[in-house]
Amino acid sequence: MQAKNNMMLQLDPPIPMDTPKGSGFAYLVIDYGLDYDLCWTVFLTETKECWTFQNRDIRAVDNITFKRNKS
């Protein structure tokens, strides 16, 4: 029987994210192990809702300082 190595990390400061439901800030990352995507717990800016998204569903927001802006 394999041991479970689940991990939850509180982000400080929260990370701004673009999600399928709008922009928000990620406060937690949940790692269920090698065979799973990371799960990002995000509070949406507009609706104040809390959702969890997988890696493939989220994107970093534009940031000119890091040369991450729309073309």
Q: What is the DSSP string of the chain?
A: -PPP--EEEEEEEEEEEEETTEEEEEEEEEE--TTS--EEEEEETTT--EEEEEGGG-EEPPBGGGTB---
- The closest alpha carbon to 40, from 49, 31, 52, belongs to 52
HSE of 40 in the Cβ direction (CA atoms, 13 Å)? Answer: 23
What pLDDT was estimated at residue 2? 61
Q: Is the pLDDT of residue 29 over 90?
A: yes
Q: For the whole prediction, is pTM greater than 0.85?
A: no
Considering the chain, what is the average pLDDT of its residues?
Answer: 88
